[in-house]
Amino acid sequence: MADGSTRQFTIPREKDLQLRTIRNSGGLSVSFVENGTVFAIEHDDGKDRVTLNQVLGSPIHGGIGRLYLRVGGANAFVQELVGPGAKGRFAASGSSAVWQGEAGGIAYRVRLALHPSEALWFWQVELSGAGPARPCDLVLIQDVGLGSRGFLMNSEAYVSQYLDHHIERHEALGPVLMSRQNLSQGGKFPWLVQGCASGAKGFATDAIQVLGPDYRITGVFDAAFGTDLPSQRRQHEVGCIALQSNPVSVGQGAKADITFFGSFTPDHPAASGPADLPAAVAAAGKGGETGTQAPVPAEPARSLVQDAAPLAVLPLEAGDVTARYPERLAEEVQDGTLLSFFVPEGGQNRHVVLAAKEAQVPRRHGALLRSGASMRLDDATLCSTAWMHGVFGAQLTIGNTSFHKLFSVSRDPYNITRGSGLRILADAGEGWKLLGVPSAFDIGLNDAKWIYRLPGRTVTVQAVAAGDAPAMQWRVTVEGAPCRFLVFGHVVMGERDYEQTGTVSIDAAAKRISLSPGSDWLWGQTYKEAAYHLVTSTPSAVETVGGDELLYVDGKARDGAYVALRSHATNELVFAVTGSMTSTAEGEELAARFAAGPDAESLLVPARAFWSLLTRDLHLKGSGPDVEAQDLMLPWLAHDAMMHLTVPHGLEQYTGAAWGTRDVCQGPIELMLALEHDAEVRHILLTLFGEQSQSRGDWPQWFMLDPYPYIRAGDSHGDVIVWPLKALCDYVEATGDLAVLDATAPWRDDKNAATSELSSLTEHIDKLLETVSASFIPGTHLVRYGEGDWNDSLQPADPHLRDWMVSSWTVALLYEQVVRYSAILKRRGETARSAELSDLAARMRGDFNQHLIRDGVVAGYGLFDPEIFGQTETVPGETDIAPVDAKSGGVELLLHPDDTRTGLSYSLISMTQPIIGGLFTHDQTRHHLKLIEQHLLLPDGAHLMDRPVVYNGGPEKLFRRAESSSFFGREIGLMYVHAHLRYCEALAMQGEAQKAWEGLALINPIAVTQRLPNASLRQRNTYFSSSDAAFPDRYVASAEWGRVRTGTVNVDGGWRIYSSGPGLFTRAIVEQVLGKRRHFGVREENPLTIAGLEGSRSNLG
């Protein structure tokens, strides 16, 4: 470029990372980054490439996998031999890698050797020492993924939920751990067995057991020699095998050899079991076949991040808390220790979490920060994720939250990997330290603060999403002596790490970095003027800006996927990221504005105005229990609902960027109508009907909007087609806008392109109803199950169920909309069409009562006999589903007291939807509400079914997810908050005011820990989507299910934010509790009579 102060480089793809790779002839390979940590363990048979580890190693830090030496006796210590904390020499070539060094007087040599031809490897460790004999052992930690790269990187937690860990014991090997990926990978089920050839003493199966919440604080594996691993199967959300070797003695010339092994099978259709043990034992004995050749190790490259321990902070003392936060609400105290609280901020509030709580919770505290004031999904809204443990900006995007990533995702919840997202190192005179968990994490609707109390100084980092521009500003301030800072960000410039290029332009003189996506992928091809800019408004505080050369000890540039900014010793450092997807000039203007340094308050004022407008300043007041908790949650529910609509993703579910047809028709629609943002709902409806297939009449399960409309699901569940009609009925019944039916929208053709032909919404709905009618079971008016219903855990595993099963819930949902639409047409004067639909509804009601209710109890599903009902269709061929019981009259009921196929007797949603939709009679409604109370209502809420589906290691027979998920949580754990909200809605409709109010308190994250002694600590300002009984695995959950009813097992909060639930929750408060409704444009107010709820304040109307 023009002078030495500027340079440009290309963000590397994986092939450009200069990885060291060892491989064998059997398709097995292990690649390493320059610092000697594992990047990826993979198997490629020429057709399928499977990644065995879960998280890719970072070039400046490493991954999750590592090997520890634990030494006992005098001067006991734990030393990392392989991993980011290892200090030895390293080399890799051919089919082996070597780490070699000395720790505490013990010399070690670790050789990772691949078998010549099999997917089999060995960790061969030699230990020796000249001093007194000392007891020691090894702990091998290996994260497990077993899937395609895209599958793993979509959500590591989801991947872990379908990993089945099975333990077999052998007299010589000890515990042998078998891991099966239960979600099909191209029709295969990858399988991995690991053990210790020299004998294992203990094990773990999830990182939470060995590198859990306290690791966020300390960064230290502190299980000293003599502390055994738990040796309990734990099916959680960071699938990770840990193996503890038998102890050995080293010293006085005595040596010890310890060998771990791993063996991979590309496809293991059956569940793991005793039959797999002989093959594992045989694999363990093949270490001698790896030969002895090994490369000569040398000093590896080392980054500053590897040696930067988490900065140790002091807690905020009572006086500090009072000085900073004199007015505190809803304080959370445990054993006399303050954990969290809320503080008022105008019409909204802030949530403050202290370090003592972060050290305990499995789900790290986090926040989604969004710029601007749009209520629509667009390409001008910036969003970033802030994590309490020192990730100051992860998954920063403008526009599409999957494709437009600037900074990478933080992929593990315990801060095990430290090279992701935007991070900061600080030097307070003792060398570089990592800013990790702060003394306090202060979360606002548009900003977050990390407060680090240190001896003699306090460091505060504030991240602000601008309320009027696609920009985020970070302000680092120091009270006390100044510090140096090294800010660095891992850059993606696309969907996934190292899969696309981008250009980084560094202007050292201007202290500015610009980044643009490459033309080798969708983003750069679609947005040719897209660019991000990192600028500073405190240039005198900045020593230099650059790339990864600022992060390595040797100061050499490797042109890796990093940008960095290093400061002088300073009391203030301010920098920002902004940009534009559509205009180079606009991006430059924004860069200039933020280089000039707007203050944080000027950025937050328009943001507060937006949240005030969105929520209509709604507040609850009263003296009764839970009123304060519900009032405090109202702005956060609105916040979460906006994230779901406009920047679709969550904290755990960070992939998204698409609208789920079912989802957008619920949460956003119901929130906006309750808060009277009618124009936005109309816009959603017209957008939604423009996504309808012209030929099929249905919608995909999910879809992206322009400019990526061709990215969408290939199919949908049987209920999805109903939801746009429900959304339309909701809108018309609230607003009285009958004219919307004459509004026009395009269709999608068979290539997913928008048609030039526009049709009225009436025509769109006619096509919808025609498609639905064509899917009825022959001879009935009951819609087929298709690919599933709302309960995602019960997707059909066999095509026979798709074609011949009926969901009572879907029938009830369709019935409700047919009745409502008939009434709307009648108001429009279309009496003939209205009468047709009324007749259809009556026939549906008759078939529902005839086929899906028996002995007064509605079934979850009806399985129809094609020999009886399939006269007009070809009877399907072979199926693994046993024939319908001949005694059932052609319809076998599932999830019903007569059900002998699944063992399940009651289904929540098949009872609540007929109540809500008016399909039940009054007597049926009262009867089913009693059944819910007797069988489904447990201390933490209403459960989807009366007991868990039987789990047998992962193979699927009837239902895809319920039989394959090894993790007992989310829908599998049965207490799904969305379904509980619909139960509360049913209660409210029946005038059960107090029960409905108490039901809503159970799902309020502030109130639930006060109401339920067994409710575990959780983040208190985010919607949680499920209440997960904390059983270690599915087998224990089934065996000890009664403990959920007695409240003797802890219940954890599930995934956060990304759900239609926040919108439903808000509507429940506004329309059901406060009774503020509209009926065809006429406002009505009929609040529930709830003790202690004295009224409300809002700008509604």
What average pLDDT does the segment 230-241 reach?
Answer: 98
**Does the bond joining 707 to the residue before it have cis omega, within 30 degrees of 0?**
yes
Catalytic residue of the set 792, 847, 899, 1028: 792
Give the number of C-alpha atoms closer than 13 A to the C-alpha of residue 7, restricted to the C-beta side.
Answer: 13
C-alpha–C-alpha distance, residues 965 and 954, integer Å: 7
Q: Which two tokens stand for residue 211?
A: 């590198």
Contact of 483 with 459, CB cutoff 8 Å = yes
Helix, strand or coil, per DSSP, at residue 180:
strand
Residue 1088 confidence (pLDDT): 86
What does the DSSP 8-state code read for residue 882?
P
What average pLDDT does the segment 871-879 reach?
Answer: 53
Q: Fold identical between 14-287 and 318-553+561-613? A: yes
Residue 4 confidence (pLDDT): 60
Contact of 126 with 134, CB cutoff 8 Å = no
Nearest to 38 by CA among 68, 62, 13: 62
Type and span of the H or E element at 669 = helix 667-674
Burial class (CB in 10 A: 0-12, 13-18, 19+), 22: buried
What average pLDDT does the segment 222-236 reach?
Answer: 97
Nearest to 840 by CA among 789, 776, 787, 910: 776
What does the DSSP 8-state code read for residue 1026?
B
Torsion angles phi and psi, residue 895, rounded to 5? 55, 60
All residues at 6 or more sequence positions from 393 whose CB lies less than 8 Å from its CB, including other chains: 384, 385, 386, 407, 421, 422, 463, 472, 474, 489, 577
CATH number of 14-287: 2.70.98.40
List Cα–Cα distances, 795 to 380, 719, 786, 862, 959, in angstroms.
Answer: 36, 12, 9, 14, 5
Burial class (CB in 10 A: 0-12, 13-18, 19+), 863: buried
- For the cut 50, the answer to whether the pLDDT of residue 2 exceeds it is no
C-alpha–C-alpha distance, residues 869 and 505, integer Å: 67
Type and span of the H or E element at 71 = strand 66-71
pLDDT digit string (tens) for 891-939? 999 999 999 999 999 999 999 999 999 999 999 999 999 999 999 999 9
Nearest to 1058 by CA among 747, 721, 727, 653: 653
DSSP labels, 429-488: SSSEEE--S-SEEEE-SSEEEEEEEETTEEEEEEEEE-SSSSEEEEEEEEEES-BEEEEE
Type and span of the H or E element at 1036 = helix 1034-1039
User: 562 pairs with which residues across the strands?
Assistant: 490
Q: Whole-number mean pLDDT of the chain? A: 95
Residue 611 confidence (pLDDT): 98
Residue 880 confidence (pLDDT): 66
Nearest to 1055 by CA among 208, 237, 351, 235: 237
Identify the band that residue 131 occupies on the pLDDT scale cut at 50, 70 and 90.
confident
Residue 871 confidence (pLDDT): 57
Helix boundaries (H) for 540-599:
584-595
Q: Which two tokens stand for residue 129?
A: 């020492």
Residue 253 confidence (pLDDT): 80
Strands (E), 188-296: 191-196, 200-206, 239-245, 248-250, 255-265
All residues at 6 or more sequence positions from 123 whose CB lies less than 8 Å from its CB, including other chains: 67, 110, 111, 112, 140, 259, 260, 261
Identify the band that residue 1 occupies on the pLDDT scale cut at 50, 70 and 90.
very low
All residues at 6 or more sequence positions from 375 whose CB lies less than 8 Å from its CB, including other chains: 614, 642, 645, 646, 672, 677, 680
C-alpha–C-alpha distance, residues 586 and 577, integer Å: 14
Checking phi first, is residue 485 left (phi over 0); if not, alpha (psi -120 to 50) or beta?
Answer: beta
Instruction: Specify whether 749 is catalytic.
Output: no
For the CA atoms of 681, 684, 686, 690, the dihedral, rounded to the nearest 10 degrees, stands at -160
Q: What share of the chain has pLDDT > 90, as a percent? A: 91
- For the cut 60, the answer to whether the pLDDT of residue 992 exceeds it is yes
Identify the band that residue 3 occupies on the pLDDT scale cut at 50, 70 and 90.
low
Contact of 174 with 201, CB cutoff 8 Å = yes
**pTM exceeds 0.85, yes or no:** yes
Q: Which residue has the higher pLDDT, 424 or 1085?
A: 424
Residue 168 confidence (pLDDT): 98
C-alpha–C-alpha distance, residues 689 and 672, integer Å: 18
- For the cut 80, the answer to whether the pLDDT of residue 877 exceeds it is no
Residue type for 1057, please?
Answer: I
Residue 887 confidence (pLDDT): 62
What average pLDDT does the segment 383-407 reach?
Answer: 98
- For the cut 80, the answer to whether the pLDDT of residue 310 exceeds it is yes
Place of tokens 């399985």: 863
C-alpha–C-alpha distance, residues 425 and 1031, integer Å: 38
Length of the chain: 1101
Nearest to 981 by CA among 1022, 1018, 1027: 1027
pLDDT digit string (tens) for 579-633? 999 999 999 999 999 999 999 999 999 999 999 999 999 999 888 889 999 999 9
To 5 degrees, how large is the angle CA 143–CA 149–CA 154? 85
Q: Which two tokens stand for residue 217?
A: 């604080």
What average pLDDT does the segment 986-1003 reach?
Answer: 96
C-alpha–C-alpha distance, residues 37 and 57, integer Å: 7
Nearest to 131 by CA among 256, 254, 257: 254
pLDDT digit string (tens) for 726-779? 999 999 999 999 999 999 999 999 999 999 999 999 999 999 999 999 999 999
Torsion angles phi and psi, residue 727, rounded to 5? -60, -40
pLDDT digit string (tens) for 266-301? 999 999 999 999 999 999 999 999 998 999 999 999
pLDDT digit string (tens) for 459-477? 999 999 999 999 999 999 9
C-alpha–C-alpha distance, residues 168 and 233, integer Å: 11
Q: In the chain, where are the structural domains located?
A: 14-287, 318-553+561-613, 629-651+939-1101
C-alpha–C-alpha distance, residues 332 and 482, integer Å: 34
CATH 2.70.98 assigned to 318-553+561-613: yes
What average pLDDT does the segment 100-106 reach?
Answer: 95
Place of tokens 């060291």: 20
Q: Which two tokens stand for residue 495?
A: 């969907």
List Cα–Cα distances, 775 to 75, 769, 794, 1050, in angstroms.
Answer: 73, 10, 20, 43
Nearest to 777 by CA among 849, 866, 892: 866
Q: Which two tokens stand for residue 588?
A: 């430059």
Contact of 1068 with 981, CB cutoff 8 Å = yes
Residue 792 confidence (pLDDT): 82
